[in-house]
Amino acid sequence: MATLLQVKGLKTQFFTQDGVVNAVNDISFDLNEGETLGIVGESGCGKSVSVLSLMRLIPQPPGRIVGGEAWFQGRDLLHMDDEEIRSVRGNKIAMIFQDPMTSLNPVLTINQQVSEALELHLGMDKKQSRTRSIELLDLVRIPDAGRRMDDYPHQFSGGMRQRVMIAMGLSCNPQLLIADEPTTALDVTIQAQITDLIRHLKQEIGMAVIWITHDLGIIAGLADRVNVMYAGYIIETADVKEIYADPRHPYTLGLLHSIPRLDAERREKLTPIEGLPPDLIGMPPGCPFAPRCTYSIERCLSENPRLETVALRHSVACWVDVTGGKR
């Protein structure tokens, strides 16, 4: 399977009055064609900033991509000029954001917003783009799509607005769809419908997907591989079945233990991860998870581990082997 996206040493910082925020710290990963990659972690761990960096959507100032490469179809996204990156956004790489109400323009009709990318990237005229827009709304299962084309976003429910965002993302048949916590603002039933829709469309269109979430439960039936992030670092990466069957980082264990289980004993309580994530301004030299970690040793406080391979396609950044002691 060919590599679609290769990220090397991505580093993004925000320069504020209080100091430099180390939002993304030298992360590297690959994404193959047709693969779904889950990026998981708490709020503020760098999930969204990492993909916004790839799309060159970091607000500057205060943000700045200070290092790294992101090779997509033979071109480095991070070193394209403005015209080149605009030709990629919404065309070859599409993105769905967390809150569709703030992503959609409230004063433009659905037809105007879905048609925009078709006219800009594919050169369609008004009639052609409207016809294709109706087809896209049908594809994402919006009932009576032809009649609803001239409605405004406030006339749609939250779930239907997210479907419109998905239709916009798919309009130019992208090779990569980035979904930034697209189900967070939706109730559980609608979450299931949206994840099922993405899974179905991925199989039908054959695109790759990066799915960002704080919920490992959603990733289970959706992703092929998982990157677990903490404090701007990738601290564990593995195939999705391996993450659930043999987690090797204490933080990953903590995330898994905090997921409600249907097969658990009635008296079994969820185990929270004690403490708070570190301040990303002036982080201490050791492992950023060490103050919250029940497995930490003296070395954890002074030296931050790098990702090391522990099994086939499974890498962990930790000084302790949670299955058997020190590494």
**pLDDT of 156 higher than 60:** yes
| Spatial separation of the C-alpha atoms in residues 241 and 192, rounded to whole Å | 20
Q: What is the pLDDT of residues 87-98, one digit of tens each?
A: 888 888 988 887
Element housing 170 (H / E): helix 158-170
Q: Which residues pair with 72 in a beta bridge?
A: 5, 75
Range of weakest confidence among 150-164, 260-274, 292-306: 260-274
The arithmetic mean of pLDDT across residues 245-260, rounded, is: 86
For the chain, the average pLDDT equals 87
The reported pLDDT for the residue numbered 266 is 57
Provide CB contacts within 8 A for 151, sequence distance 6+. 109, 110
Biggest alpha carbon distance in the chain? 67
Q: What is the arithmetic mean of pLDDT over 284-291?
A: 90
Q: Taking Cα atoms as reference points, which of 201, 42, 83 lies closest to residue 137?
A: 201
State the pTM of this model.
0.88
Mean pLDDT to the nearest integer, 197-220: 84
